[in-house]
Every structure is written in C-alpha cells, then in structure tokens.
C-alpha cells in the first residue's frame, strides 16, 4: 500500500514549502511521486495507492498496475488502520505500507521487507526524524495506530512500545523528505532549489 497526498499547490510538503515556496515544493513532491512509481511498479505483489483527498484519474498511477483507493479516517493512524483492515479483510496475509516521500528507498528495499515479514510479526523502516517510512504487518493490530502524535519524533518509539515481546525486524534507518535540509545535497532536486532565491 502506498499512501500519497494529492499533489496540489500549497497542500503538500508544507514544511518544505516554508523554505523553497509552494511551487517548488509541489515539483519536489511530484519528483518523489515519480520515484515511488519507479520503485513499486515492477514489484510482484498487489499494489494499492491510497489518495489523501480524492482518487486521481489519468495520473502517474496506471490503473492496470495500481488499485486506487481513498484514505478513510480522522488522522494518519486511523487512515492506515482502515487500509490495513481492508487488506486483511480481502484475504492478504503480508501487507506493507510506505509513504510517497522517500527518495532514499528502492525496489530491493521493499522486496527485502516482504521477505523479512515472512519470518517476523512486524517489519519497520525507521525514519531519521523519529517516525517510520515503511510498516509491515501479518495481521491487524489496531493499537499500533492509536494514541500517536503523528508527524512528530515520538511515533517510532511509541509504536515499538506497543509491540514489545513480538518478533520485529527493523530495517535500515532512512531519511524521508520534509525539510529543505533533506534535499539540499541531492542532485536531482537542485534545479528546484534555485526558486528560493527568485
């Protein structure tokens, strides 16, 4: 499952936009979405895109490759819980969710996460900011999606507290893109960063 925000000016990557402006932030996010398509389209698993506000048509997510759904719930936790519940109710037994702002992620990372999930109850990709960029489950545990301050540096710690005494696979720590500092040294984004001086 891929959680994504609809790419709308002024509504995505707002923390990044505070530094480089709304238009550049939108273009950065569109690059990240393109990257997410590149690293997921060839995975030999069922793929679902969960949109934040409305299901997109004629966009980069090819409907023959990706099932398209709308996120349901008041906060990120409720939305992820609902998506996992849908997946398990549909009969899937190994489900992984990723975001769409990980330039640091590749197809092999996701394949390895699925392999790890076969022998572990949970697979988690810790993000440098204290959250996670990947979360995998074999069965629904709604507790892990409740009582979290989403978007803060306590999410990973609080999640791990919820699943003590279980078989957890922690992946390599990676950096998601939220701030200017997250992309200032990555060459593919350089042409967009000149906007801040305009």
pTM: 0.92
Whether residue 121 contacts residue 155, with contact meaning beta carbons closer than 8 Å, is answered with: no
pLDDT tens by residue, 41-90? 999 999 999 999 999 999 999 999 999 999 999 999 999 999 999 999 99
At residue 197, does pLDDT exceed 70? Answer: no
Q: What is the mean pLDDT of the chain?
A: 92
* DSSP 8-state secondary structure symbol assigned to residue 127: B
Query: Which pLDDT belongs to residue 198?
Result: 45
Report the pLDDT averaged over residues 91-108.
94
pLDDT tens by residue, 20-31? 889 999 999 999
* Burial class (CB within 10 angstroms; exposed 0-12, middle 13-18, buried 19+) of 101: buried
- Which residues make beta-bridge pairs with 124? 135, 170
Query: Which pLDDT belongs to residue 167?
Result: 94
For residues 182 and 25, what is the distance between their CA atoms, to the nearest angstrom?
12
At residue 124, does pLDDT exceed 90? Answer: yes
Whether residue 91 contacts residue 138, with contact meaning beta carbons closer than 8 Å, is answered with: no
Whether residue 122 contacts residue 159, with contact meaning beta carbons closer than 8 Å, is answered with: no
């Amino acid at each position: 499952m891929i959680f994504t925000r609809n790419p709308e000016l002024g509504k995505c990557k707002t923390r990044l936009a505070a530094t480089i402006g709304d238009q550049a932030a939108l273009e950065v996010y569109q690059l990240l979405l393109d990257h997410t398509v590149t690293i997921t389209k060839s995975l030999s698993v069922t793929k679902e895109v969960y949109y934040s506000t409305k299901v997109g048509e004629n966009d980069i997510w090819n409907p023959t490759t990706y099932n398209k759904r709308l996120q349901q719930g008041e906060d990120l936790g409720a939305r992820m819980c609902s998506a996992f519940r849908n997946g398990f109710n549909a009969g899937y037994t190994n489900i992984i969710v990723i975001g769409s702002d990980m330039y640091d992620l590749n197809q092999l990372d996701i394949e390895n996460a699925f392999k790890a999930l076969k022998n572990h109850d949970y697979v988690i990709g810790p993000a440098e900011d204290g959250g996670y960029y990947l979360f995998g489950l074999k069965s629904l545990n709604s507790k892990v999606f409740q009582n979290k301050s989403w978007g803060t540096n306590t999410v990973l710690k609080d999640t791990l507290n919820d699943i003590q005494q279980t078989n957890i696979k922690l992946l390599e720590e990676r950096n998601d893109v939220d701030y200017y500092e997250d992309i200032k040294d990555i060459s593919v984004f350089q042409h967009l960063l000149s906007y801040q001086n305009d």
